[in-house]
Amino acid sequence: MSRLKVGLPRKREPGFARGVHGADPPFDGEALSFAVFLEQEIRTGRGPFSFGEREPLREIAAHLEGILRLGLPGRTVSVLKGAQVGMTTLAVCLALYCAAVRRLNVGYFLPDQDFADRFDSTRIRPLVRSSKLAKAMRDGRWKGASPKGLLEFPAPGGSCFLYVLGLRDIGNAISLPLDVLIRDEVDDLPPENLKWSEDRLDASRLALTVNLAVGRAPGAGIHAMYLRGDRRRWLVPCPGCGKEWALEEEWPGILGEEEGGPLLACPGCGAALPRGAGRWAPEAPEALGEGEGGRSYRLSQLAVPAVGLERVAAKWRAARFPGERAKFRCSSLALPDAGEMQPLTRELLLRLRDEAPCFLEEAPA
Ligand SMILES: [Zn+2]
């Protein structure tokens, strides 16, 4: 790690932020909840932020809010998700809330710097609905850091920052102290850089980590984080027979049809299941102890009515080959499946050596 450049904030004159903005920071001293912040300050492509059609996100947001409100130290929240479920939007909103309202230093880590550089203009700025939030932040400067993806939230007592960084090449990442670490698409981040990102929290009293990704490798990456946590599944009760179902586990048997359109039908009695009207239930509540994996959620597209079932069903029908079906299971069902991308294991190499007349040797230890 010695090759990392170490930087400290540039010295500010007292009252610097006041001088630039001519006033106290917009959210100074406010006890604004995350839910109200989402409602008042955030705009999505379809108007003000709302949990409608994305009901499972409500508890995740409430849990994160609770950690911040109570200042619970060292917590981890991991979300193994399907594509387009709205979790990245929620994570970006959390980053803005933590920096603007809670006055925390936040790192939002993405796989590569190109992605990170675009993220600010494509994912963060368009979410800013209120002029109040826009006023609270500006392009940031930190000695030794690329100004790209660095947002500063000035205040008389000192600025706090939101860094959006690519984590594949951390050569550009200075030694930044963080309170909140958000890692998006963790399956694409090199494991040694994940560890580096964790060290950024060492000096923080809060040290909150949020991981989110579409999982691709069973037992690795975000799936491993999910397994280490308390493994929350979205259970939907059947209005007919009362049995609760984890929708993605019943795929494809759960897919039914009604008046020409697809629906999710109870595997027990056939009644139509209301996708969004469920509850989160942990499979491993004991994992919440200190030093354990924390909260973990598995959020498939089936639990999010905002993702049309017609689209999901069409993608399933189009996926004919095992590799395509594996991809579907990862991105729609949030059930990681390596498909044809199974990693080379020692067992496989040994089998190849035994069964084929070739010369494979294990590297000396
Ligand atoms: Zn039923």
Going from the Cα of 273 to the center of ligand 1, the distance in angstroms, rounded, reads 8
Between CA 142 and CA 187, with CA 195 as vertex, the angle to 5 degrees is 100
Mean pLDDT score, 261-282: 96
Q: 354 in a domain, yes or no? A: no
Q: How far is the CA of 275 from the centre of ligand 1 (A)?
A: 13
Ligand 1 centroid to 268 CA: how many Å? 5
What is the pLDDT averaged over residues 343-359? 60
Q: Is residue 351 one of the residues assigned to a domain?
A: no
Domain hosting 325: range is: 16-235+283-341
Q: How many domains does the chain have?
A: 1
Do residues 190 and 52 touch, judged by C-beta distance below 8 A?
no
* 34-41 vs 87-100: helix crossing angle, rounded to 10: 100
Distance from the alpha carbon of residue 30 to the mean position of ligand 1, in angstroms:
47
CA 272 to ligand 1 centroid distance, Å: 8
Q: How far is the CA of 293 from the centre of ligand 1 (A)?
A: 33
CA distance 51 to 104: 25
What's the CATH code of the domain at 92? 3.40.50.300
As to burial, measured by CB atoms within 10 angstroms (0-12 exposed, 13-18 middle, 19+ buried), residue 101 is: buried
| pLDDT above 70 (res 203) | yes
Assigned domain for 245 exists: no
Task: Report if residue 360 sits inside a domain.
Answer: no
Residue 235 Cα, ligand 1 centroid: separation in angstroms? 13
What's the CA-to-centroid distance between 128 and ligand 1, angstroms? 43
- State how far the Cα of 13 lies from the Cα of 103, in Å rounded to an integer: 19
pLDDT over 90 (residue 262): yes
Q: What is the DSSP secondary-structure string of 292-333?
A: S--EEEEE-GGG-TTS-HHHHHHHHHH--SHHHHHHHHHHTT
Distance 313 CA to ligand 1 centre (A): 21
Can you tell me which residue has the tokens 């660095």?
Answer: 150
Q: What is the pLDDT of residue 352?
A: 62
Q: Enumerate residues with CB within 5 Å of ligand 1 (an ion).
A: 238, 240-241, 266, 268-269, 271
State in Å: Cα 312 to ligand 1 middle. Answer: 22
pTM: 0.85
pLDDT attached to residue 167: 76
pLDDT digits (tens, 9 = 90+) for 50-66: 999 999 999 999 999 99
- The Å distance, Cα 131 to ligand 1 centre, comes to 48
Per-residue confidence (pLDDT) for residue 8, from 0 to 100: 45
Is residue 240 in a domain? Answer: no
Q: Which of 50, 56, 61, 184 is nearest to 116 (CA)?
A: 184
Distance, in Å, from the CA atom of 298 to the CA atom of 294, rounded to the nearest integer, reads 13
Residue 325, classed as helix, strand or coil, is helix
Distance 70 CA to ligand 1 centre (A): 40
Q: In this structure, is residue 299 part of a structural domain?
A: yes
pLDDT at residue 28, as a whole number: 75
Residue type, 67: I
CA of 244 to the centre of ligand 1 (A): 8
Looking at the DSSP bridge assignments, the partners of residue 166 are 110
Range from 4-13, 121-130, 210-219 carrying the lowest mean pLDDT? 4-13
Ligand 1 center to residue 255 CA distance, Å? 13
As a whole-number percent, the residues of the chain with pLDDT over 70 amount to: 82
Instruction: Name the token pair of 208.
Output: 């909150």
Query: Could you tell me where the DSSP H helices lie in 172-278?
Result: 191-199, 221-228
Q: 266: CA distance to ligand 1 center in Å?
A: 5
Of the candidates 9, 10, 5, the one whose C-alpha atom is nearest the C-alpha of residue 173 is 5
Written as one letter, the residue type at 35 is A
Is residue 271 included in any domain, yes or no? Answer: no
Q: How is 20-70 classified by DSSP, letter by letter?
A: HHSSS-TTTT----HHHHHHHHBEETTEE---TT-THHHHHHHHHHHHHHH
- Distance from residue 253's CA to the centre of ligand 1 (Å): 13
The Cα–Cα gap between 6 and 199 comes to 14
Residue 12 scores a pLDDT above 80: no
- Per-residue pLDDT reduced to its tens digit, 286-315: 877 666 779 999 999 999 999 999 999 999
Residue 5 CA to ligand 1 centre (angstroms):
59
Q: State in Å: Cα 280 to ligand 1 middle.
A: 19
Please give the distance, rounded to the nearest whole angstrom, from the Cα atom of residue 260 to the centre of ligand 1: 21
Sequence-distant (6+) residues with CB within 8 A of 335 are: 215, 248, 249, 300, 329
In a domain, 216, yes or no: yes
Is pLDDT of 334 > 70? yes
pLDDT at residue 16 in the model: 38
Ligand 1 centre from 262 Cα, in Å? Answer: 17
Q: What is the whole-number distance in angstroms between the Cα of residue 333 and the centre of ligand 1?
A: 21
267 CA → ligand 1 middle, Å: 7
| CA 34 – ligand 1 centroid, Å | 36
In this prediction, residue 206 carries a pLDDT of: 97
- Asked if the model's pLDDT at residue 15 lies above 80, the reply is no
CA angle 45, 48, 54 (to 5 degrees): 75
Q: How far is the CA of 61 from the centre of ligand 1 (A)?
A: 30
Q: What whole-number distance in Å separates Cα of residue 139 and Cα of residue 237?
A: 47
318 C-alpha vs ligand 1 centroid, how far in Å?
Answer: 28
pLDDT digits (tens, 9 = 90+) for 67-126: 999 999 999 999 999 999 999 999 999 999 999 999 999 999 888 777 777 777 788 888
Give the SS3 label for residue 180. Answer: strand
